[in-house]
Amino acid sequence: MDVTESDLPGVGKKHEVDIGGGQQLVIVTHNTGTRELYLKASDDADSEKLVELSDRMARLVGTILEGAYFQPVQSDHVETMLAEGTLLEWFAVDPDSPLVGETVASADVGQRTGVTVVAIQRDGEVIPGPMPERTIEAGDTLVVVGDRGSCDDFERLLTGEQ
């Protein structure tokens, strides 16, 4: 995915996202927080304004697009960029994972990989900030925060490749 960022002095930032088929999604983020979305059908076409969103509405739409409310595709691994170099990732715990039956404390994933477990999704419920004595079960989804290398290390630990 190709994303181009440019400054718009006195206005804010512009991001151009290559969405395939020669099309680009152009997002203008104003210093006020307002976002404007444009579609550029081809390189030589003018951009067509699709919608203008307030800061609050843009954040709501962003979380919906990100899959925070509903993830239509079953996936073992989902990631979201929080800040430069910091990821929020969801990892499914398979029945054969070496972490099944471990507590958050005994798994010691922070020391072993550098990630922090910030939540566990279990049976349609979210357990935020799981206590150290919380047991990791098959079928859980562990939500972790860390840099790319730490998340990769955690995935290897979770799958028993480490």
Residues 3-27 have pLDDT tens digits of: 889 999 999 999 999 988 889 999 9
Residue count of the chain: 162
Whole-number Cα distances in Å, 130 to 25, 38, 108, 134, 135: 38, 41, 13, 6, 9
Does residue 159 sit in helix, strand or coil? helix
DSSP β-bridge partners for residue 78: 90
* Domain extents in the chain: 3-66, 77-159
**Mean pLDDT computed over every residue of the chain:** 86
The alpha carbon torsion through 51, 52, 58, 61 (nearest 10 deg) reads -20
Total-model pTM: 0.55
Nearest Cα to 146, choosing from 74, 51, 80?
80
- Is the domain covering 77-159 a CATH 3.30.70.1450 domain? yes
Within 13 Å and on the Cβ side, how many CA atoms surround 75?
11
Nearest Cα to 151, choosing from 63, 104, 69, 85?
85
Using CB atoms within 10 A of its CB, is residue 158 exposed (0-12), middle (13-18) or buried (19+)? buried
Residue 60: pLDDT band (50, 70, 90) is confident
